[in-house]
Structure 1
Amino acid sequence: MSLADMTVGDLIDLLSGCDRSAPVGQAMNPFFLMAHRLAQVVRSVDEAGRTVVYLAEGQDEDTQLGHLPPEVAVALAWQGPVQALPRRPRRTAGGK
């Protein structure tokens, strides 16, 4: 693993401040902003013999939760903040 890889300990530390009863979702693809339900934790071994833990989505029909909330996509830097376009003054019946 590279130094940039998140460890199980890092994940536990990040989750320790969260509500333990909150459901866990997974944001998967910055080009198709959807949220998925996590269903499994699978341990394996990589080519170098090191343990790797995978978080996997479920196989049920409802495993895809829907569109990723915009604030999550912005926090992940997958999209920029969206602001409404400035309003132009309305034209009058006289064309001015």
Structure 2
Amino acid sequence: MEHTEMTVGDLIDHLSACDRSATLRLAMNPFFPMAHRLDQVIQTEGRDGSAVVYLAEGRDADAQLGTLPPEVAVQLAWQAPVLAPPRRPRRTACG
């Protein structure tokens, strides 16, 4: 299966459906999902000469915001939904 990379146009299309005043975060590491504050957008030239845009987290100590909210990890398919265990009937006091 061939992997296709998201383009800047794809990103703009996705972002155009979002609230323009929403805070932007970067979700990283599907095995230990973390949220990061986005700080920079850099365009450069790739190894093949094509344009590449990088989204980078900040250098500040608080750039990593902590674990990703579970509902986001589920939407990204990085984690399976966790269901509460079924409830058992309560025991009654025998007396």
Q: Give your verdict on TM over 0.5.
A: yes
Which structure 2 residues correspond to residues 48-59 of structure 1 after superposition, within 5 A? 48-59=48-59
Structure-1 residue corresponding to 2:43? 43
Aligned structure 1 segments of 4 or more residues deviating by more than 6 angstroms: none
Kindly indicate whether residue 14 of structure 2 is the aligned counterpart of residue 19 of structure 1: no
Query: What is the Cα deviation at residue 87 of structure 1?
Result: 1.8
How far apart in 1 are the matches of 2:64 and 2:36?
4
CA distance in 2, matches of 1:3, 1:74: 21
Distance in 1 between residues matched to 2:18 and 2:92, nearest whole Å: 54
Call closer, same or farther: CA 1:9–1:87 in 2, change over 3 Å: same
Q: Cα offset for 1:23?
A: 0.9
State TM-score, norm by structure 2. 0.88
SS at match of 1:79: coil
When the two structures are aligned, how many residues end up with a matched partner? 93
- Cα deviation for residue 58 of structure 1 reads 0.5
Q: Percent identity?
A: 68
Q: Distance in 2 between matches of 1:78 and 1:44?
A: 29
**Structure 2 gaps, min length 5:** none
Q: Name the structure 1 match of 2:76.
A: 76
Unaligned runs of 5+ in 1: none
> What is the RMSD computed on CA atoms of the aligned residues?
1.5
1:76, distance to aligned residue in structure 2 (A) = 0.5
Distance 1:31 1:3, change over 3 A: closer
- Give me the TM-score of the superposition, normalised by structure 1: 0.87
Code of the aligned partner of 2:89: P
